[in-house]
């Protein structure tokens, strides 16, 4: 047990009235947003300056907090961010009121050495652009686009996802613009639509009514550009739309609407543009409608073709009419089938010609090439047969018009079902976006904080520092903190935690959560793209974009798949044709309605259309999309396919101690007086001394002192405790025992991991005594404990385990865990941890529950097994289907696969793979977790 000696010189407060009490938190001078006497309008972004300091001597988050608070007390400071891991402090300030030297001296006054870093800023030199790509059909298409983007100078990374039909490009904005990226995609033959052009930027689209001239558009644009905080404006005169990028700290959408509506003669009216999701849902619905319309029109023409060739030929009266000769051997039935199949081939099926041209122009081949070749072979051979019959009195040929038209119809049906199913794979994102309420109640307060007005507004118009009223049963309209009222809020839709969380003044609330039983007034903090909901949506979207390493397998196959299928198709036709030409099989095998050439042609076409590269391309991304979506709904954010694939292999987990295995909030568990005095008075003196300290142990003492005044004292078992000696007037008066309690379920989680054959290791910066005590309590063996480890030593330990053959996951919550989180195969950050830890991790456990470590691993295993099943199905389908289509069963059984049935089977393969992935939506976490009797802990 560690011991500390605190020499406390306590001065008793003479006016200890009942009303004064103990302060609930340290008091610091409240700093105004801007220096006293300066109007907010004067402080624009252009007047800001940024300084970066190297700060040495910081050892923990408390040190960083001390530096940050000291700097923020200075006049003219806009923002201060301290990174203890890298020993850096970044300060945004107004140089008219404070300078770098004053800031540096202030940091040194706190007790640390500070040096100004000249010429270095943390400005991003990269930007992320998301683009929707229309027209991709298989992995060959996505690979072509990805290669084209990678070849553009200034692009650092490009990912193209077939399942989401989107590209995510990391590029240098100093070298190229997003318009050049769009052009690069369109040069490959696909249509590109910009979704977002930057990262960490808030953007809103406004539609303006009453605009009649370009001059009016220009006046409005100039008025908006004059506003502080507006970064960029893109106008679309054709739809009267303005896309405004802005800094939410300085301005917001209500300001824009007010400026627009007060511009000129006040005839303009501004509203939020109806397409709020970047058009993704609109595009998906339109794509579904297009395939549905195409399929229905193809049926209008294909059904009569099918009836005249397959049904009416067996009805004597109708058969005679269809067999009536028009010119030589040309019959009425052949003319009808030719006329009806032509629109299907060249109008409804034009999309396949266009797709083939785009692919072949860039030296690749995709599914469209196979469909175009197969249907053209059937159609043009039929045209040849019809023309020859019209010019010959003896030729009696057979047409395959039903083959080409039915092929196209079934493929369109398959694509229609596929886009329907693919839409369901991204339902998780749609559900997250639907969490935000449509309206909010905006409150206007007077100087004393009394409500003077209530107004219902569109929730997208909420600006930073607005006060919003949340009634019982309503959704929280924005991230913020409670300034009035008490209630319980159900946060399960965001965190997955079903238990309602109590909220009162000062507590944080998350936009999209459900207020249950009381009225709350909240002050909005993070709005627009900065909100927790938006960040989660972006994280899930990025995860669904990222490719799993196993996807490379499908990408490699796709390069050779279509050329190989074309070669097999030609070889099949040639083999059957030569076998028939040289009497390699009995003539009785040839159906009465065709000759050996036509039989060979049907086998060749069947091989060409049954092979499906789409199923292979969709096997991984659809499973990843559903898996990451399900994880998000359970409070487990998985950052992409790489994390998902690595997590299923994990057989060793390294746990941080403080804040991970333990709660991370020390509490006083025992007190011993060494002199004769009243216990309440003892704690009054300690609290008065420690109330302004930011040290976690000091906070624990103050919180316990407050509780002591209110309750009957209860004795707690001392385990892994820190001892503190207290002296008053130079004489030791007592001792305190402070402990950081275990998290609920920590012991049970370690036990379940053992049954899953996953080794648990604890690495901590704390002392060996405390570490061994905590490890014993949770069930980790003594040889699996590493104590007194610095951040870099944690990372080294992870690397040592990897060298030993383990696939390692690291679970942590602090800044000092970041190196280990990055070094691990899978980094898991506790959701209540630091932003740096969450940024460094591959998986974020939003509920801060250790049981979600098991959920994450189990979900990854289930998802990866579904990916394997998809590949087995997609490959097995082609391995079995191609020989059957080539006539492997025909000699022994007489069974052959007509081309139109082969086409239907090809369409069904893609749908089946997507549906197989969709079954992951019904994932349930391991039953062991539901049966856990997790004890609660109470921390006052």
| C-alpha–C-alpha distance, residues 93 and 49, integer Å | 5
21-30 pLDDT, tens digit per residue, is 322 333 223 3
Structural domain contains residue 655: yes
DSSP notation for 727-739: EETTEEEEEEEEE
- Residue 499 is predicted with a pLDDT of 72
356 & 503 share domain: no
What confidence category does residue 45 fall into, taking pLDDT thresholds of 50, 70 and 90?
very low
Q: Classify the phi-psi angles of 513: left when phi > 0, otherwise alpha if psi is within -120 to 50, otherwise beta.
A: beta
Given a cut of 50, whether residue 11 has pLDDT beyond it is: no
725 & 783 share domain: no
Residue 363, Cβ neighbours under 10 Å: how many?
Answer: 7
641 & 692 share domain: no
500-551 pLDDT, tens digit per residue, is 888 988 888 988 888 988 899 999 988 877 787 877 777 777 777 777 778 7
165 & 54 share domain: no
**Phi and psi of 454, rounded to 5°?**
-120, 140
Residue range 344-367: mean pLDDT, rounded: 86
What confidence category does residue 15 fall into, taking pLDDT thresholds of 50, 70 and 90?
very low
Structural domain contains residue 934: no
Given a cut of 50, whether residue 179 has pLDDT beyond it is: yes
Given a cut of 70, whether residue 276 has pLDDT beyond it is: no
595-646 pLDDT, tens digit per residue, is 888 889 989 998 988 887 778 878 888 888 888 888 888 888 888 788 888 8
Residue 575, Cβ neighbours under 10 Å: how many?
Answer: 16
Of 436, 460, 488, the one marking the end of a domain is 436
Q: Which of 110-119, 136-145, 215-224, 699-708 has the lowest mean pLDDT?
A: 699-708
Q: What is the mean pLDDT of the chain?
A: 79
DSSP notation for 131-180: EEEES--SHHHHHHHHHHHHTSTTEEEEEEETTTTEEEEEE-TTT--HHH
User: Which CATH number do you get for residue 487?
Assistant: 2.70.150.10
Helix 596-610 and helix 851-885: axis angle, to 10°? 170
Please check whether residue 213 is in contact with residue 235, taking contact to mean a CB–CB distance below 8 angstroms: no
Given a cut of 90, whether residue 273 has pLDDT beyond it is: no
**% of the chain exceeding 70 in pLDDT:** 84
Given a cut of 70, whether residue 922 has pLDDT beyond it is: yes
E-state strands within 274-392: 325-327, 330-331
Residue range 271-299: mean pLDDT, rounded: 80
Q: Which residues contact 92 (CB under 8 A, 6 or more apart)?
A: 48, 49, 50, 77, 78, 79, 80
Highest mean pLDDT among 364-368, 374-378, 764-768: 374-378
Residue 97, Cβ neighbours under 10 Å: how many?
Answer: 17
Output 146 or 935, whichever has higher pLDDT. Answer: 146
User: Which CATH number do you get for residue 229?
Assistant: 3.30.70.100
308 & 429 share domain: yes
- Given the residues 205, 399, 479, 656, select the one marked as catalytic: 656
Structural domain contains residue 548: no
Residue range 870-895: mean pLDDT, rounded: 89
- Residue 61 is predicted with a pLDDT of 61
795 & 685 share domain: no
- Residue 305 is predicted with a pLDDT of 92
Q: Which of 38-52, 444-458, 874-888 has the lowest mean pLDDT?
A: 38-52
Q: Which residues contact 352 (CB under 8 A, 6 or more apart)?
A: 368, 371, 372, 375, 408
Please check whether residue 838 is in contact with residue 539, taking contact to mean a CB–CB distance below 8 angstroms: no
- Residue 30 is predicted with a pLDDT of 31
299 & 424 share domain: yes
- Residue 292 is predicted with a pLDDT of 93
Residue range 142-164: mean pLDDT, rounded: 86
What confidence category does residue 297 fall into, taking pLDDT thresholds of 50, 70 and 90?
very high
Residue range 710-716: mean pLDDT, rounded: 39
- What's the length of the chain? 940
- Residue 629 is predicted with a pLDDT of 85
Residue range 4-22: mean pLDDT, rounded: 31
| C-alpha–C-alpha distance, residues 897 and 887, integer Å | 8
748 & 703 share domain: no
- Measured CA distances, 106 to 74, 99, 563 (Å): 9, 11, 70
Split into its structural domains, the chain has a count of 7
**% of the chain exceeding 90 in pLDDT:** 16
What confidence category does residue 335 fall into, taking pLDDT thresholds of 50, 70 and 90?
very high
Residue range 153-170: mean pLDDT, rounded: 85
- Residue 719 is predicted with a pLDDT of 46
- Residue 106 is predicted with a pLDDT of 87
- Residue 678 is predicted with a pLDDT of 73
Of 275, 303, 338, the one marking the end of a domain is 275
281 & 394 share domain: yes
* Collapsed DSSP state (helix, strand, coil) of residue 926: coil
304 & 392 share domain: yes
* Collapsed DSSP state (helix, strand, coil) of residue 828: strand
270 & 405 share domain: no
Of 683, 718, 739, the one marking the end of a domain is 739
| C-alpha–C-alpha distance, residues 666 and 202, integer Å | 38
Annotation says 656 is catalytic:
yes
Structural domain contains residue 869: no
Given a cut of 50, whether residue 446 has pLDDT beyond it is: yes
656-699 pLDDT, tens digit per residue, is 888 788 877 777 767 777 677 777 777 777 766 665 555 555 55
- Residue 931 is predicted with a pLDDT of 66
E-state strands within 680-779: 721-728, 731-739, 759-763
- Residue 23 is predicted with a pLDDT of 29
- Residue 577 is predicted with a pLDDT of 92
Structural domain contains residue 903: no
Structural domain contains residue 544: no
Q: Classify the phi-psi angles of 595: left when phi > 0, otherwise alpha if psi is within -120 to 50, otherwise beta.
A: beta
Residue range 202-224: mean pLDDT, rounded: 84
**Phi and psi of 927, rounded to 5°?**
-60, -25
Structural domain contains residue 873: no
| C-alpha–C-alpha distance, residues 88 and 91, integer Å | 10
Given a cut of 50, whether residue 1 has pLDDT beyond it is: no
644 & 792 share domain: yes
91-123 pLDDT, tens digit per residue, is 888 887 888 888 988 888 887 888 887 654 444
Residue range 71-100: mean pLDDT, rounded: 80
Output 114 or 833, whichever has higher pLDDT. Answer: 114
DSSP notation for 843-862: EEETT--THHHHHHHHHHHH
| C-alpha–C-alpha distance, residues 635 and 844, integer Å | 8
What confidence category does residue 32 fall into, taking pLDDT thresholds of 50, 70 and 90?
very low
Structural domain contains residue 779: yes
Parent domain of 354: 277-436
Residue range 744-758: mean pLDDT, rounded: 89
Angle at 438 between CA 433 and CA 439, to 5 degrees: 145
């Amino acid at each position: 047990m560690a011991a500390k000696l605190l020499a406390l010189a306590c001065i008793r407060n003479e006016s200890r009235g009942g009303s004064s009490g103990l302060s609930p938190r340290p008091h610091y001078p409240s700093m105004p947003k801007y220096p006293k006497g300066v109007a907010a309008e004067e402080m624009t972004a252009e007047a800001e300056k940024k300084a970066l300091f190297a700060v040495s001597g910081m050892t923990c988050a408390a040190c960083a907090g001390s530096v940050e608070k000291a700097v923020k007390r200075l006049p003219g400071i806009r923002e201060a961010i301290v990174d203890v891991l890298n020993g850096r402090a970044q300060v945004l300030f107004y140089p008219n009121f404070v300078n770098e030297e004053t800031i540096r001296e202030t940091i040194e006054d706190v007790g640390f050495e500070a040096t100004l870093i000249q010429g270095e800023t943390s400005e991003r030199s990269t930007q992320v652009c998301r683009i929707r790509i229309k027209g991709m059909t298989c992995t060959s298409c996505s690979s072509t686009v990805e290669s084209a983007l990678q070849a553009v100078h200034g692009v650092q990374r490009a990912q193209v996802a077939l399942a989401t039909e989107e590209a995510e490009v990391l590029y240098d904005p100093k070298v190229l613009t997003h318009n050049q990226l769009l052009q690069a995609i369109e040069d490959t033959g696909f249509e590109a639509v910009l979704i977002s052009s930057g990262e960490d930027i808030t953007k809103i689209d406004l539609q303006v009514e009453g605009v009649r001239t370009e001059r009016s558009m220009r006046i409005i644009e100039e008025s908006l550009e004059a506003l502080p905080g507006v970064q960029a404006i893109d106008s679309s005169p054709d739809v009267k739309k303005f896309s405004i990028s802005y800094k939410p700290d300085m301005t917001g959408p209500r300001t824009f609407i007010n400026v627009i509506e007060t511009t000129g003669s006040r005839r303009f009216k501004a509203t939020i543009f109806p397409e709020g999701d970047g058009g993704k849902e609109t595009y998906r619905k339109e794509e579904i409608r297009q395939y549905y319309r195409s399929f229905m029109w193809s049926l209008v023409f294909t059904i009569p073709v099918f009836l005249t060739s397959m049904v009416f030929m067996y009805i004597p009266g109708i058969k005679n009419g269809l067999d009536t000769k028009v010119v030589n051997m040309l019959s009425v039935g052949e003319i009808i089938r030719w006329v009806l199949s032509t629109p299907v081939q060249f109008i409804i099926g034009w999309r396949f010609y266009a797709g083939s041209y785009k692919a072949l122009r860039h030296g690749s081949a995709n599914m469209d090439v196979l469909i175009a070749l197969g249907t053209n072979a059937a159609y043009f051979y039929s045209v040849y047969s019809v023309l020859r019959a019209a010019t010959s009195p003896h030729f009696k040929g057979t047409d395959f018009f039903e083959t080409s038209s039915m092929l196209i119809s079934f493929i369109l049906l398959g694509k229609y079902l596929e886009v329907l199913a693919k839409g369901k794979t991204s339902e998780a994102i749609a559900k997250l976006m639907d969490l935000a309420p449509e309206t909010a109640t905006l409150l206007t307060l007077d100087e004393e904080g009394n409500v003077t007005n209530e107004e219902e507004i569109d929730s997208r118009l909420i600006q930073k520092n607005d006060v919003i009223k949340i009634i019982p049963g309503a959704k929280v309209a924005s991230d913020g903190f409670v300034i009035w009222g008490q209630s319980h809020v159900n946060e399960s839709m965001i965190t997955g935690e079903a238990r309602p969380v109590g909220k009162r003044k000062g507590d944080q609330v998350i936009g999209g959560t459900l207020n249950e039983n009381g009225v709350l007034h909240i002050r909005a903090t993070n709005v627009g793209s900065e909100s927790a909901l938006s960040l989660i949506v972006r994280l899930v979207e990025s995860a669904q974009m990222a490719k799993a390493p196993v996807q490379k397998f499908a990408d490699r196959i796709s390069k050779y798949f279509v050329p190989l299928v074309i070669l097999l198709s030609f070889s099949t036709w040639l083999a059957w044709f030569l076998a028939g030409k040289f009497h390699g099989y009995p003539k009785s095998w040839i159906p009465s309605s065709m000759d050996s050439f036509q039989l060979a042609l049907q086998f060749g076409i069947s091989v060409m259309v049954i092979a499906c590269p789409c199923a292979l391309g969709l096997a991984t991304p659809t499973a990843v999309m559903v898996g990451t979506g399900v994880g998000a709904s359970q409070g487990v954010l998985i950052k992409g396919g790489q994390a998902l694939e690595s997590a299923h292999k994990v057989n060793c987990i390294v746990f941080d101690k403080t804040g991970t295995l333990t709660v991370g909030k020390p509490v006083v568990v025992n007190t011993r007086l060494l002199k004769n005095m009243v216990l309440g008075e003892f704690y009054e003196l300690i609290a008065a001394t420690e109330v302004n300290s930011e040290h976690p142990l000091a906070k624990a003492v103050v919180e316990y002192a407050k509780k002591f005044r209110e309750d009957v004292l209860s004795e707690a078992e001392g385990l892994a405790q820190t001892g503190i000696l207290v002296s008053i007037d130079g004489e030791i008066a007592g001792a305190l025992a402070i402990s950081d309690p275990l998290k609920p379920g920590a012991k049970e989680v370690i036990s379940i991991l053992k049954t899953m054959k996953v080794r648990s290791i604890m690495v901590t910066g704390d002392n060996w005594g405390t570490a061994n005590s905590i490890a014993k309590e949770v069930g980790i063996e003594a040889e699996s404990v590493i104590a007194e480890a610095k951040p870099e030593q944690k990372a080294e330990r992870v690397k040592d385990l990897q060298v030993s053959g383990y696939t390692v996951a690291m679970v942590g919550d602090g800044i000092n865990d970041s190196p280990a989180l990055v070094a691990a195969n899978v980094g898991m950050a506790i959701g209540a941890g630091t932003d740096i830890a969450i940024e460094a991790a591959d998986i974020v456990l939003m509920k801060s529950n250790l049981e979600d470590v098991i959920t994450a691993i189990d979900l990854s295993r289930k998802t990866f097994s579904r990916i394997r099943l998809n590949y087995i199905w997609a490959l097995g389908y082609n391995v079995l289907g191609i020989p059957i289509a080539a006539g492997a069963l025909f000699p022994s059984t007489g069974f052959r696969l007509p081309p139109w049935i082969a086409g239907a089977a090809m369409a069904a393969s893609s749908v089946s793979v997507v549906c197989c992935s969709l079954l992951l939506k019904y994932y349930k976490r391991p039953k062991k977790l539901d049966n856990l009797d997790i004890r609660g802990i109470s921390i006052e």
